[in-house]
Every structure is written in structure tokens, then in C-alpha cells.
Structure 1
Amino acid sequence: MKDIALDVMIPAWVDGVLTPVEKLEVHQRGLRHKAVSVFLLAGDKVLLQQRAMCKYHTPGLWANTCCTHPDWDEDAGVCAERRLAEELGIVGVKPVFADTVEYRADVFQGLIEHEVVDVFVGHVDESLGVDPNPAEVMDCRWMSFAEIDQAIDTDPAQFTPWVKIYMDQFRQQIFG
């Protein structure tokens, strides 16, 4: 199975102007670009996903519930709901905008994520039905913030750079 979304055009800033640029090129050049991240919470637990091995960067690593790049002119909230359905088969959940954050992270193999991220949070029951798309997700797991912190301290290499950034730099801002 191959990561088929490499030729997608995503909103990136080129010379200060928001421009549609091919996703792989955005990451090769480290261009600042729009993104959307979703965190689904059940009490004190966060639904994490393990990225499919066919992903072109950070395969097999644990990430937040879902994350993506919006289509050109796509509303971030619509994008968040779309990707919950596409990645995890979750429908009917309407995550709420929490904040916009910006980070820059090396995602290995010469690729850079320099994202301006609209972050959404949804509160759900842990029994929520999840049906991962194998082209996107190889596993899911509910973990408390304490368990995430401990796992990052014990074995940080199992997590995407952005999850470590969210937990270290933006936790209070996003989750209160």
C-alpha cells in the first residue's frame, strides 16, 4: 500500500502569499503551511492513532487522533470532520475549535513540517466506534495525559514530533 496523497495541493505561504503547492514539495522545502489537528477526549484520555507504515513520513509513529492539511479554501472545521471520517471512520462528531498554533519540526528524511495548525477538540465516550482506514492508520489507543507523558519520557521515538510538541508546548493552550 502506498501513501496516495502526495500530489495533493495544500495551502502554503510562498513569498508571503498563500499559494496551492504540492504536499511533498511543501515538506521538502519546509514551507509554512495550513494544517488541522483533532484531539478526541474521553474524560482524561486522548484517542491516539498509530500512522500506517505506508505514510511517506513518520510511518508507524503515534500521533494525535487525526491531523491533515485542508484542501484549498476548505473550512478548517469541515476538514476536521472529513478527516475523522476518512482516517478513523468516525462520523457525527463535531470537534470544537480550540486554538491556532504554529510549529516547525523535522519529520526525518529531509522533510520539514512548518505548520500553522487549527486545533480542534471533541469530547466523546471511550466506547465510540472507530474503524481505521488501513491506508492511514494501523492502530488506535486511548491514553491518559499521564500515560502519554510517561511513554514520551520512556520512548520518545515512538511518537511523531508534533505530538511531543503539542504535549510539551501547547497543552495548556489547547486543553486548558
Structure 2
Amino acid sequence: MGNSREQLPVELVDATGVGIGTCTVTEAHTAPGRLHRAFSVQLVDPDGRLLLQRRAPVKTRFASRWSNTCCGHPAPGQRVEEAAVGRLAEELGLTATLTEVGSFTYRAADTGSGFVEHEWDHVLLGTLTDGEPAPDPAEVSDYTWLDPAHVHSAMADDPHAYTPWLSSVLRLVTAARH
């Protein structure tokens, strides 16, 4: 279940992305938030549509919001790509080759839960050529394939329906695909 994930270790990083220690997921996300390593996966299909997921209502941070394909935290010392491939399989039952296309840092407070995201986020891009998503309901409540232009206009119309990191993920994905 999702709550056991909250006790897993994450890697704390400094302002340049260098590892400086570890703490639990819960500790990292307790206000004011501690900068830690994370990843965001974005899958596209051969037509260039984006696979978005709606986070499950039981998620402790930004529940029920639409987001990129999947997110997570590598274990301390774990390769980001390895962690991301594992999360993609766990959350959506999918396999894809992932390539890191950049990283960014952000801080966002979830007013609903009081938790804070403060992450050094590695963005990984992959093309899904085979398979259909099989979401884990503890993680994902829904998914959809959308044209990037539609996603950008929908986010502009209703920003609170989307996770606060999605726009930065899509900026890096768009740059990598052009």
C-alpha cells in the first residue's frame, strides 16, 4: 500500500544536485521540505501524444491531480534510470526505454495535505510502442493520451487540476523532442 512507501529512504541533495545524506520520504516532504532527488517519467506514443496519469485520491501529495506518466524517488545510490523503469512497471505495468532529458528543481506546498515537494527532479522521456497501461489503483486513478497542445491549453484553463511540476517536465520534454 502507498503508506509504506512513505518510510522508504530518499537521497538529500545540495543546490548543485550532489548527495549529502538521506531521510525518509515523509521527512523529506514535511514542511518546509528538504531538497531531495526525484524523477519524472514522460511517455509519448509514436504520434507524439503524451501519456498523463491522474494521481490516486489516496496519494499523500497532490492527490487526484493530473500529472506526467509517473514519478518517484530513486533509493540512495540507485541509478535514476533503473528506479524510473521500476516505477513505470509498478504504477502502470509498462516497459519502455527511458532517456534523461534534463533536470530542474522546484518547491511546491500541497495546501490539502500540508506536505511540501522540494525536489531535484530528473526528467526521463520514453516512447511507448507496445502495451497498454494497467494502473495500480493505489497510485493511479485514471490515465489519458493527449496531444501536447491540448495539455498546455488545459493547464492554462485549470492549473489546479494538474501537479505543480508538470509544466517544467513538459518544457524539458518538448525541448528534447524538437
Q: Is TM-score (shorter-chain normalized) higher than 0.5?
A: yes
Cα 1:114–1:2 shift into 2, 3 Å: closer
**Distance (Å, rounded) in 2 between the aligned partners of 1:61 and 1:159:** 5
Unaligned stretches of 5+ residues in structure 2: none
Instruction: Note if contact 2:43-2:128 (Cα within 8 Å) is conserved in structure 1.
Output: yes
2:49 maps to: 45
**Distance (Å, rounded) in 2 between the aligned partners of 1:20 and 1:83:** 20
Cα 1:17–1:155 shift into 2, 3 Å: closer
Q: Secondary structure at the match of 1:151?
A: helix
Counterpart of 2:5, as a letter, is A
2:22 maps to: 20
**How far off its partner does 1:135 sit?**
0.9
**Distance (Å, rounded) in 1 between the aligned partners of 2:43 and 2:143:** 12
Deviation string 1:93-139 (CA, Å, 9 cap, x unpaired) is 111121122222223333221211221101123x6311101111011
> Where has structure 1 moved over 6 Å in runs of 4 or more?
none
Match among 100, 111, 119 for residue 123 of structure 2 = 119
TM-score normalised by the chain length of structure 1: 0.88
Counterpart of 1:158, as a letter, is A
Q: Secondary structure at the match of 1:34?
A: strand
**How far off its partner does 1:173 sit?**
4.0
TM-score normalised by the chain length of structure 2: 0.87
Instruction: Note if contact 2:101-2:172 (Cα within 8 Å) is conserved in structure 1.
Output: no
Counterpart of 2:136, as a letter, is N
Match among 131, 147, 167 for residue 128 of structure 1 = 131
Cα root mean square deviation, aligned: 2.1
Instruction: Note if contact 2:13-2:21 (Cα within 8 Å) is conserved in structure 1.
Output: yes
Q: Secondary structure at the match of 1:3?
A: helix
Instruction: Note if contact 2:100-2:123 (Cα within 8 Å) is conserved in structure 1.
Output: yes
Cα 1:175–1:102 shift into 2, 3 Å: farther
**Distance (Å, rounded) in 1 between the aligned partners of 2:3 and 2:67:** 17
Cα 1:116–1:17 shift into 2, 3 Å: closer
Cα 1:57–1:9 shift into 2, 3 Å: same
**How far off its partner does 1:40 sit?**
0.3
Cα 1:101–1:2 shift into 2, 3 Å: closer
Counterpart of 2:58, as a letter, is C
